[in-house]
Structure 1
Amino acid sequence: MSQSNALAEAYKQTNYQLSGHGRRNIQILKESINDLNELQESDMYGKGKIIEDFQAKVAAYLGKESAVFFPSGTMAQQIALRIWCDKKQLRKVAYHPLSHLEIHEEDGLKKLHHIESVLLADKTRLIEMEDVLNMQEDVACLLLELPQREIGGQLPDFKTIEQISSYCRNEGIMLHLDGARIFEILPYYKKSAVEICNLFDSVYISFYKGIGGIAGAILAGDKNFTNESKVWKRRHGGDLISLYPYIVSSDYYFEQRLDKMNQYYEYAKEIAELFNQCFAVSTLPIQPVSNMFHVHLSISKDKLETLLTSIYKKTEIGFTSFVKEKSEESCYFEISIGDAIVKIPKEKLKKAIQMLNESMEENHN
């Protein structure tokens, strides 16, 4: 067994896991449907009360005229950008070099829609107003991801978003929000979803990340936009005969967890502070701006996996199941705080992080 597989297996065996809402198993669905009327009718090919009511509910929450439920965010965002490119008759969009569309979708936007990406900023920092002003190419749409996951969930200040939004509207550039984790950033900005989404022409949100549903996404905007998105959804094969298991779990956990986002955020700051006290360990950002952050360590990936596997077995607490290499002598992992955190005894968690500190010191001696 490789060390990476050993780490993943050790993580599975822990009694307490630091990230998320707990184990993703069939219980997620069972809990969400427990109190439903068994005679509740399902949706049929994107129509029906259960899907239409949920779409209207989320549209109102976001302050948008209309919303459409999709089985995946990958499908939803490619479609959003295709619609804006068609509207502007220009097949170029701008976004961050570490956007999900650029690094996780097998070039779907380019291969399926023949849309060219214009990359702003670099891989180490956020898109700033200066990057938008200095674009050398005309684009139909600019995509902003809030928070920027691949660099620790960092966020621009709100004034920057307002400036970018104003510039795009003046220049006729459509502005799309990759808001997969929009619920998680509301406590930091101290803004409502409506206040944020008003700055964007279209919005995508996820229901399996911070909310913790099974799967599913919403694409929201004006009615002309969402009506076009329904056509593209059918073309992409996204109109399954029924999506209600995704809708039901999305709605259930939306109600259960939306008001807990501030609690997750406060826990994230506390835990990041503990990691930052460890030898040769730092978080990105140093103080989290949402419920997620990255933990960077000055140690090789293989050595860290060995250390973590040992810590998990001794403490029964798992930090992560997966470590990413940064260089030969550095690596990092992601933490995303949810319901699971409240089940961990604080002293046990502190002991596990202290054990990491001691292991890192020993490694460097």
Structure 2
Amino acid sequence: MTKLLSETYKKTKYKLRDHGSRSVNDLKVVIDKVEPDRMIDFYGQGFIINDFEDKVARILGKEKAVFFPSGTMAQQIALRMWCDERKIYRVAYHPLCHLEIYEQDGLKKLHNIETVLLGEKDRLFTIDDLKKIGTDISTLLIELPQNCIGGQLPTWDELSEILVYCKENNIKTHLDGARLWEAAPYYKKELNEICREFDSVYVSFYKSIGGVAGAILAGPEEFMNQSKVWKRRYGGDLISLYPYILSADYYMTRRIEKMKIYYEQSMELAKHFNSVNKIYTIPKIPVSNMFNVHFSKNIQNLESMLIAVMKRVDVGITPYFNELEDGYVFDISIGDAYGKIPKGKLDRCFDELNTQINKIM
């Protein structure tokens, strides 16, 4: 796969995924709406940061929240603190957890914490997977939705059963809610209800929210006070974080209520993909605003075909794909961009995709 695929995607007028191309204007729009003399934050203190922390704590139903420059920092700190409290330095999570595949073994190298992988890579872990490993773990991390397998979610009953089991066995539960906002429409519950039985929760502001960067860690007051100490140890207590906070607040306010629309649009888009020869989605019917798109292995010159289709219809399908043993895959996450595509152009995109695949089969 060459850079040409990504470059072609960027040049298209319309795009299937996310909120469209990111630029400096994403922050400029926010800054232009703020009074020029508004006081900024200073080493984690000030109305601009503390009011936002309180606001998100209320949304998540937790006693206290702390703003972090990154989710990687927030989650490693949370798991370390739960391990310290339990005096058990073992945590369990899905094999495709962010900490396992994207963080260069930070949890293991920085904290000497042993990780236990639950279940298989291509599915959600279950209560039976959890029972098999025993109770000698300090914390169970649950990602909602599970990003790398197409935004899948356990049913509410399955999730509740796991959380009850953990409480009964004195296992702390941490919610990797990088995309938590996207789970609410499927569960048909408020965010504070989803978070209620978790001991700690992390949410991101740059993924589905579309902010510049930043994260919130939320939980019991004393736990969160201690997290500030670790934040300083990690070098995350920057002199000011207001560009992150302002964009997080601005885009969260505007997009958190759109998650139901994104969810409905993801089901519509998945139908389009599943109607094309040699393409299918996982899940077939999405349970969040995201899913994975799979292409058959016997499609020849896939990159050239995608480039040709995107140029012809001016719709960005994907900037990348990964090769698997049995085919190719990329992920789709619905945001504001999808709703801007005229229906006729969307139909033409998939007609053209189907035509070109049939030609090269």
| Range of TM-score over shorter length | over 0.9
* Equivalent pair of 2:135/2:171 in contact (CA under 8 Å): no
Question: Which residue of structure 1 lines up, in the alignment, with residue 284 of structure 2?
Answer: 286
**Structure 2: 5+ residue runs without aligned partners?**
none
2:335 equivalent among 327, 335, 338: 338
2:204 equivalent among 203, 206, 219: 206
Question: Which residue of structure 1 lines up, in the alignment, with residue 345 of structure 2?
Answer: 348
- For 1:75 and 1:305, locate their aligned partners in 2 and report how far apart those are by CA, in whole Å: 36
Q: What are the equivalent positions in structure 2 for 1:147-296 lying under 5 Å apart?
A: 147-296=145-294
- For 2:46 and 2:298, locate their aligned partners in 1 and report how far apart those are by CA, in whole Å: 53
Question: Which residue of structure 1 lines up, in the alignment, with residue 308 of structure 2?
Answer: 310
> Pairwise CA RMSD of aligned residues?
1.2
Question: Which residue of structure 2 lines up, in the alignment, with residue 134 of structure 1?
Answer: 132
- For 2:5 and 2:154, locate their aligned partners in 1 and report how far apart those are by CA, in whole Å: 34
Q: How many residues are treated as equivalent by the alignment?
A: 361
* Equivalent pair of 1:176/1:202 in contact (CA under 8 Å): yes
Superposed CA deviations along residues 185-218 of structure 1, whole A, max 9, x for unmatched, are 1011101101110020000000011111000100
Shift of 1:363: 2.4
* Equivalent pair of 2:313/2:345 in contact (CA under 8 Å): yes
Shift of 1:305: 1.5
Q: What are the equivalent positions in structure 2 for 1:2-13 lying under 5 Å apart?
A: 3-13=1-11
Please tell me the residue identity of whatever aligns with 1:238.
G
Q: Percent identity?
A: 53
TM-score (norm 1): 0.97
- For 1:109 and 1:295, locate their aligned partners in 2 and report how far apart those are by CA, in whole Å: 31
Please tell me the residue identity of whatever aligns with 1:347.
G
Matched, 1:319 2:317: yes
- For 2:228 and 2:2, locate their aligned partners in 1 and report how far apart those are by CA, in whole Å: 41
Q: What secondary structure does 2:133 align onto?
A: coil
Please tell me the residue identity of whatever aligns with 1:44.
F
Q: What secondary structure does 1:185 align onto?
A: helix
Please tell me the residue identity of whatever aligns with 2:360.
N
TM-score (norm 2): 0.98
- For 1:108 and 1:350, locate their aligned partners in 2 and report how far apart those are by CA, in whole Å: 45
Superposed CA deviations along residues 57-105 of structure 1, whole A, max 9, x for unmatched, are 0000000000000000000000010000000111100000000000000
Question: Which residue of structure 1 lines up, in the alignment, with residue 143 of structure 2?
Answer: 145
* Equivalent pair of 1:272/1:288 in contact (CA under 8 Å): yes
Question: Which residue of structure 1 lines up, in the alignment, with residue 109 of structure 2?
Answer: 111
- For 2:114 and 2:350, locate their aligned partners in 1 and report how far apart those are by CA, in whole Å: 44
Q: What secondary structure does 2:301 align onto?
A: helix
